[in-house]
Structure 1
Amino acid sequence: MESVMLRENDLELIDALQINPRASWAEVGAVLGMDPVTAARRWKRLADDRLAWCTVALGQRQLHTMSVAFLELTCEAGAAGQVAAELARQPHMITVQHIAGSYDLWTIAIAPDLAALSEYLLHQLPTQPGVTRVRTHIATRAFDLSMRWRLRVLNTHQAARLHPEPGTPAVTRPMDEIDRRLFVALSVDGRRSFAELEAELGMSARTVQRRINRLVAVGDITFRCDLARRLAGWHDSAVLWLAMPDDHLESTGEQLLRWPETRTCAAVAGPNNLLLTVGLHGVADLHGLVTRLRHEFPHATIVDRQMVLRQVKLYGRVLDPVGRWSSTTPLDLWALDSGTASTGGPAPAVPSREVGRCFAEVKDM
């Protein structure tokens, strides 16, 4: 049974952290008109109730170096649930959902390069029990993977006060093993304190802080905040495939990022060369959105549309039917490169009671 909707002050707090997921409670409280302790306490309640969470995500620079695939899977009769649960445990799968249409499941997989991704798609995924067919779409440009959208509850002035200050330009270099370990640790909770990360990673808090600041400044990582979307009025979602001339892809993708409904938007190789996933307040809203797409982008043809039946995993979080998170699989987007998936050893899911410990910190970070 679906719970009551989130309250207005909850939505304001979540929106604030969608703008700046690692903002201090003093910064958040100043914008929302409450003291830092109250802001921290309200967030802890949301986290303990599994209604909202923060995590790390790939920044645009790092995302451009990775290989991203959108997968459509057909499963044996009655096996879709079991297959979805197994895929949700794999650390390189950031999204898993049941869809209505010609395929049973729709997922997003990430690997360090096309060779590692190909090995998984050609030799491992097709042999997974219950999978009968896999259709693969390789992203050529990921405009967004559900990282920029926000509730838009706060006004423009409030939002501007929360936007993080631009970091000092840093020397770019490939992410090393320590950076990747830091990414995995932050995937459990994007608001983990430097002191907590110090204890886990075996390096000083100051070193952790410097590494995070550098990774953010160069665009290797970013942070995101999400929530049980149904309880904020976003009851449904859909996957759309569009076809258009290649010289329109960039401008269309950038414009779609400004739509409040847009979740994932990517150019893909193939005749249906733009993928768009959208959030909807209700199923009936899809028709109005399609009409708007046709009106604003007459160069585009909507080839297919599929309603999402249920979201199983979202950026590392395994969700219940309402959208609360029940466990997390620490994201290791380099797992395929290291052979983790091929040896059958995905990172273990962390139940909600364990991850909840990460949210106990109420002081400013």
Structure 2
Amino acid sequence: MTSVDRWQLPDGIEEVLPAQAATVERLRRRLLDLFRAWGYELVIPPLVEFTDSLLIGLGQDLDLLTFKLTDQLSGRTMGVRADITPQVARIDAHSLAPEGVSRLCYAGSTLHTRPKSLMASRSPIQLGAELYGDDSLAADVEVIRLMLATLDAAQLENTITLDLGHVGIYEAVLASAGLDAELEATIFDCLQRKSVPDLTEALAKADIPEATAELIVGLVDLHGDDSVLADARELFAEHAPEALAAVEALADVATDIRRQRPDINIYFDLAELRGYHYHTGIVFAAYVPGHGQALANGGRYNDVGEVFGRARPATGFATDLKALMALAPVAKAAQGAISMPDSDDPELLAKVEALRADGEIVINTLGGASDARCDRELVGSDEGWMVQNL
């Protein structure tokens, strides 16, 4: 290994340097203050937990994303969190165990064994909000509105598109087909890739009735504007009527969002299976031009708390502060600083304390040379210590 190799970071693992770190921290503070104003209380889950609680009941996708290690004290397997949402569900269900509605928020580093998409980080700084104890569409709408307000607060200079789906549609269609587990897994994969040839071939090999096959293949084209909902009502009316309730729920949510946010583009995708093994109802994501993956996403995930002793209705969303940082407007020039002599003069130290309390950066001069950021200096005079331009 060369000396250069020793300093290389693993693929998808980034360090955040001062200018970027300042942007991330400003965003974190601004967004957590936003959540607080909406009534969401901050929690700070641990970086690692036993996999028994970190992964149970949450599907294979999260399991594959999680780095695992052995706890030297107990001998049990622990995981470095790949997603903070399950931890917050545990806090709500077990640590807090409130009655009624609770609203929690968080911000912290996560770690993935592999990137979720081609350009995604393996060490995102996840920020999100979760609402527990209410199973209504009003709760879903609140969380979607908060997600949009989060992107607004990040001051993005992009048009936001809200992508809406509902896992209940897929569930109803598959239930009407009566497929075995192996074929369902194949269909799930084809729908995720929106590959009609592969989907048609798999259904033909399984000798699925023509009407059922057309219903499943029809899911692939159910994406776009409001006309998609009309097409879905017609497609499901006879062969999968159980899916109609989910279609109407999407229509109601879109109506509420448009009433409050007419500036938002809404896109429906009724074959959206993001987090299918985890979500139980409405799923949503926010996209902006030039960014290939969802900038924020979430959905309803009822009953995850059941493994912790309390099944709770739940809905929430998350975003990556690093991704927001990359799309945020370029920050203005960094604040200048004031150079101070290396002295223990009480009057000087009192002046420095007052300046720092007012938000100024004051840097001690070491070795006779001031810091490059300093554009002013503290100079002693008969009137005391004064700030002068360099």
Q: Give the TM bin, normalised by the shorter chain.
A: under 0.3
Higher relative contact order, chain-length normalized (CA < 8 Å, sep 6+) = 1
More strand by share: 1
> Based on CA coordinates, which of the two structures has the bigger radius of gyration?
2
The alignment's TM-score, normalised by the length of structure 1, stands at 0.25
User: What is the TM-score when the length of structure 2 is the normalising length?
Assistant: 0.24
